[in-house]
């Protein structure tokens, strides 16, 4: 596989993760944070806090392994890159699982009860 192809896939993934987190933060948690029930607010707050942490970790990861200006990977230590990449994928997967198990069911429940506009 050519280096440019790998970089393209990598930067596409980065943009998709960033876009997903921004969408969830703005469209879903943004609605929930102003909700009157404290439990709902707390859930939104936890996800927003988690988003901030993921963004920071992801940003640090990108600074270490990428040249955003050149849209290229800058891998100096392959083993370390693989290890940190696996950790990043696990972090993102964990976030998606928590959304699926906690956030989306809460939103569906609130929509069904008429407490939250779809």
What is the distance between the alpha carbons of residues 49 and 41, in angstroms, rounded to a whole number?
Answer: 12
Q: What angle do CA 73, 7, 2 make, to 5 degrees?
A: 105
What is the distance between the alpha carbons of residues 28 and 116, in angstroms, rounded to a whole number?
Answer: 10
Q: What angle do CA 10, 19, 114 make, to 5 degrees?
A: 145
Q: H-helix or E-strand containing 109?
A: helix 104-112
88's CB contacts (< 8 A; 6+ apart) are 57, 58, 61
pLDDT of 101 = 97
Mean pLDDT split into 10-residue runs, the chain, 118 residues: 62 92 95 92 95 93 87 90 94 96 94 79
Q: What is the pTM for the complete model shown?
A: 0.84
């Amino acid at each position: 596989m050519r280096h440019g192809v790998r970089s393209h896939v990598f930067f596409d993934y980065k943009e998709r993760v960033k876009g997903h987190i921004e969408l969830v933060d703005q469209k879903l948690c943004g609605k929930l944070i102003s909700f009157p029930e404290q439990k709902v607010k707390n859930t939104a707050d936890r996800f927003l806090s988690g988003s901030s942490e993921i963004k920071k970790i992801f940003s640090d990861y990108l600074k270490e392994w990428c040249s955003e200006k050149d849209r290229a990977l800058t891998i100096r230590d392959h083993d370390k890159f693989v290890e940190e990449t696996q950790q990043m994928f696990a972090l993102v997967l964990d976030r998606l699982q928590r959304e699926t198990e906690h956030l989306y069911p809460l939103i569906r429940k609130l929509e069904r009860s008429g407490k939250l506009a779809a």
